[in-house]
């Protein structure tokens, strides 16, 4: 049994919220959740360059689909998927931050920490979104295999 600053007892791990709000969010309660948008960007970055290297070495760059280079088409699709995932993470982080309410029996810093982690996740998602767009523009502007 733990005791908070008012002397009220609470069970370890029990966190009751004010009525009407959902449970804790993965984006708020873990560092991995907070940096998940950067993980998506890093996976996209590696996958795009691995695909580009393999496709240039195998001659896939000579294939055209609907008048567009097949390599560029696949890379653009990868970019769209990565941007959609990053945008979803940002929206989920904003929603998680808005749902956070001060807890009835927990320390007041818990809600502040969760709001901070949500804001941090949103800012990192913005950074990942810009980085993904930057790479996406280069996919459209440059020839895939030189």
17 has a pLDDT exceeding 50: no
Q: Strand pairing of 9-10 and 2-3? A: antiparallel
Q: Higher pLDDT residue, 58 or 26? A: 58
Chain centre to alpha carbon of residue 4? 33
Instruction: Quote the tokens at residue 109.
Output: 């810093």
- What is the H or E stretch that residue 97 is in? helix 70-99
Question: What is the pLDDT confidence band of residue 28, given thresholds at 50, 70 and 90?
Answer: low
> Mean pLDDT over residues 126-132, rounded?
96
> Mean pLDDT over residues 28-46, rounded?
87
Could you report the per-residue pLDDT of 81-105, keeping only the tens digit for each?
A: 999 999 999 998 888 877 766 665 5
Q: Quick one: which of 130, 49, 35, 44 has its CA closest to 79?
A: 44
Q: Quick one: which of 20, 39, 25, 146 has its CA closest to 93?
A: 25
The reported pTM is 0.74
> Mean pLDDT over residues 32-38, rounded?
88
Look at residue 117 in the predicted model and tell me its pLDDT: 85
Give every CB contact of residue 25 below 8 A, 6+ residues apart in sequence: 33, 92, 96, 99, 114, 118
């Amino acid at each position: 049994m733990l005791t908070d600053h008012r002397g009220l007892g609470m069970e370890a791990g029990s966190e009751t919220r004010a009525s009407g709000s959902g449970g804790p969010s993965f984006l708020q309660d873990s560092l991995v959740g907070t940096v998940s948008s950067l993980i998506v960007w890093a996976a996209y970055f590696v996958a795009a360059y691995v695909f580009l290297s393999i496709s240039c070495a195998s001659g896939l760059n000579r294939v055209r689909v609907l008048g567009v280079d097949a390599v560029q088409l696949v890379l653009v699709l990868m970019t769209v998927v990565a941007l959609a995932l990053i945008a979803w993470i940002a929206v989920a982080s904003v929603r998680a931050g808005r749902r956070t309410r001060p807890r009835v029996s927990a320390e007041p810093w818990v809600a502040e920490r969760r709001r901070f982690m949500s804001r941090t996740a949103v800012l990192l998602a913005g950074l990942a979104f810009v980085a993904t767009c930057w790479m996406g523009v280069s996919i459209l502007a440059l020839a895939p295999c030189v």
